[in-house]
């Protein structure tokens, strides 16, 4: 059975990652609402980009068991290593054209983003990136780093040989359906909980997390 498929006897809590944070108050709200991971964008072309030292300052606000994640797009190894020095417990997330060797070069746990569109063989992709802790599924859009667009969830094949992180256009209104349909290991949101690019909305974060928990409760009740 795929790791993304839930056991029929032990329902799994869906993990929540809030990405693209730039402000202290947004980090604090995400933590208070139950986020498991906080994402920092290290892609200079993104309106949500932060520097390594800024990310380090924000990451110091995180309590134990909330994981900082750094998003990279075709970065040089020295840049990745600099981010890891600034945020020692950083998990890496690659959104560009990185090879498996490039993703593994820093020797750190990593997620590999897959851009879901025609022609992508996700099973082959996951097999090639077998060192990834999870594959993050995002929409195929122009450019890199995610575009806040929902892709067709039916494109996800069964038995993906890695934990799946569902991303791409999620928001408080659709994430319950996403969890119920895809049964991912985790969900990832950025623009869906914003009032402006890089500025999170506290109420939207709260409603998003509540919607994920609602989906988990419905799954648990269905197999009880």
Tens digit of pLDDT for each residue in 8-63? Answer: 345 689 999 999 999 999 999 999 999 999 999 999 999 999 999 999 999 999 99
CA distance linking residue 23 with residue 32, whole number of Å: 15
CA distance linking residue 131 with residue 127, whole number of Å: 9
- Spatial CB neighbours of 206, under 8 Å, sequence gap ≥ 6: 29, 33
Claim: this prediction has a pTM higher than 0.85: yes
CATH number of 15-223: 3.20.20.70
- Asked if 125 and 160 count as a contact pair (C-beta separation under 8 A), the reply is no
CA distance linking residue 21 with residue 47, whole number of Å: 11
Q: Which residue of the set 26, 33, 103, 138 is catalytic?
A: 138
Backbone angles phi, psi at 195, to 5 degrees: -95, -20
Give the residue among 12, 10, 6, 2 at the shortest CA–CA distance from 213: 12
In the predicted model, what is the mean pLDDT of residues 60-79? 97
The rounded mean pLDDT for the chain is 92
Tell me the per-residue pLDDT of 96-149, one tens digit each, with 9 for 90 and over: 999 999 999 999 999 999 999 888 999 999 999 999 999 999 987 766 655 678
* Max CA pair span of the chain: 50
Tell me the per-residue pLDDT of 137-190, one tens digit each, with 9 for 90 and over: 998 776 665 567 899 999 999 899 999 999 999 999 999 999 999 999 999 999
3-state SS record for the chain: CCCCCCCCCCCCCCEEEECCCCCHHHHHHHHHCCCCEEEEECCCCCCCECCHHHHHHHHCCCCCCCEEEEEECCCCHHHHHHHHHHCCCCEEEECCCCCHHHHHCCCCCEEEEEEECCCCCHHHHHHHCCCCCEEEEEECCCCCCCCCCCCCHHHCCCCCCCCEEECCCCCCCCHHHHHHHHCCCEEEECHHHEEECCEECHHHHHHHHHHHHHHHHHHHHHHC
**Neighbour tally for 4: CB within 10 Å:** 24
209 is catalytic: no
97 is catalytic: no
């Amino acid at each position: 059975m795929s790791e993304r498929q839930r056991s029929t006897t032990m329902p799994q809590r869906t993990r929540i990652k809030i990405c693209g944070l730039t402000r202290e108050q947004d980090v604090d709200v995400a933590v208070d609402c139950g986020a498991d991971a906080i994402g920092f964008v290290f892609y200079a072309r993104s309106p949500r980009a932060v520097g390594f030292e800024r990310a380090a300052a924000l990451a110091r606000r995180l309590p134990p068991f909330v994981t900082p994640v750094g998003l990279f797009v075709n970065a040089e190894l020295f840049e990745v290593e600099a981010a890891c020095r600034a945020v020692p417990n950083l998990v890496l997330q690659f959104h560009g054209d990185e090879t498996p060797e490039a993703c593994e070069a820093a020797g750190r746990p990593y997620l590999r983003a897959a851009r879901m569109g025609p022609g992508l063989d996700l099973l082959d992709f996951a097999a090639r990136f077998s060192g990834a802790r999870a594959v993050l599924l995002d929409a195929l859009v122009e450019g890199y780093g995610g575009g806040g667009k929902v892709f067709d969830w039916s494109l996800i094949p069964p038995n993906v040989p890695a934990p799946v992180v569902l991303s791409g256009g999620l928001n408080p209104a659709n994430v319950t359906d996403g969890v119920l349909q895809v049964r991912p290991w985790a969900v990832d949101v950025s623009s869906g909980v914003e009032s402006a690019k890089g500025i999170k909305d506290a109420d939207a974060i709260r409603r998003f997390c509540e919607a994920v928990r609602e989906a988990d409760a419905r799954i648990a009740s269905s197999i009880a």
